[in-house]
Amino acid sequence: MSAIITAAEEGQQSLLLPATYDIVWSLVCAVVIAVVFIKVLPKFLKVLDERTAKIEGGLEHAADAQAEAQQLLEEYKQQLAEARAEAARIRDDARTEGAAIVAELREKAQSDASRILETAQRQIEAERQQAAESLRQDVGDLAVELASRIVGESLSDQARQTRVVDRFLDELETEASTISSESGR
């Protein structure tokens, strides 16, 4: 402290005030820095603003893309649900159609079976009648021959032969019906 007091007494400048050359050079540096800030700072701020705008634009674009992706996802889910519903409807229609086809084929098979059965029954009935007629003819011929041998006279006359055969068969049928009615009791 004594150095400060001594320097002040000798006529030197005060310690609180710097030397003139220091003030000038400090002022020059301050002006240079101020000019740099005045010239460069707006460009620097402009670059920062552009970057901020790009980042904000990128964020907006990303938000838009995310919203669009979400919308597409919702549309996809809706289309998938519609496709599943359509597939279920098609399956149900196919089942219904299959059941209808099966029912139709069953009906056709039953009608064909009924027709075949009727045809077979008619054919059996026709063959039975033919067999009965053939049997009647054979029995008639045998009866005529037997009657000819028993009676000893020829029954070659057609009318006589028919009467004898019919009478013989009627008697056989009467006996058969009497036996069947007695056994049914």
pLDDT of residue 94: 92
Instruction: Give the Cα separation of 12 and 16 in Å (integer).
Output: 12
Q: Which two tokens stand for residue 15?
A: 């310690």
φ and ψ of 75, to 5 deg: -60, -40
* Helix (H), strand (E) counts: the chain: 3, 0
Count how many domains the chain has: 1
- Contacts for 164 with CB less than 8 Å, ≥ 6 apart: 143, 144, 147, 155
Residue 108: the pLDDT is 92
Does 114 map to a domain? yes
Task: State pLDDT tens for residues 152-161.
Answer: 555 566 676 6
Residue 129 lies in a domain: yes
Q: What is the pLDDT of residue 116?
A: 93
Between the alpha carbon of residue 22 and those of residues 6, 13, 30, the distances in Å are 22, 13, 12
CA–CA dist 44, 170 (Å, integer): 138
Per the structure, the complete domain to which residue 61 belongs is given by 2-154
* pTM to 2 decimal places: 0.38
In a domain, 185, yes or no: no
Question: Closest Cα partner for 144 from 127, 166, 126, 124?
Answer: 166
Task: State the pLDDT at residue 169.
Answer: 78
> Is 48 inside a domain boundary?
yes
Lowest mean pLDDT among 57-61, 125-129, 178-182: 178-182
pLDDT of residue 128: 86
Tell me whether residue 159 is in a domain. Answer: no
Answer whether 161's CB lies under 8 Å from 144's CB.
yes
- What's the token pair of residue 117? 């059965």
**Residue 35: inside a domain:** yes
pLDDT band for position 177 (50/70/90)? confident
pLDDT beyond 80 at 37:
yes
Asked, for residue 166, whether it belongs to a domain, the answer is no
- Contact between residue 161 and residue 155 where contact means Cβ atoms under 8 Å apart: yes
* Residue pLDDT, tens place only, 55-76: 998 989 999 999 999 999 999 9
pLDDT(8) > 60: no
- Judge whether 60 lies within some domain: yes
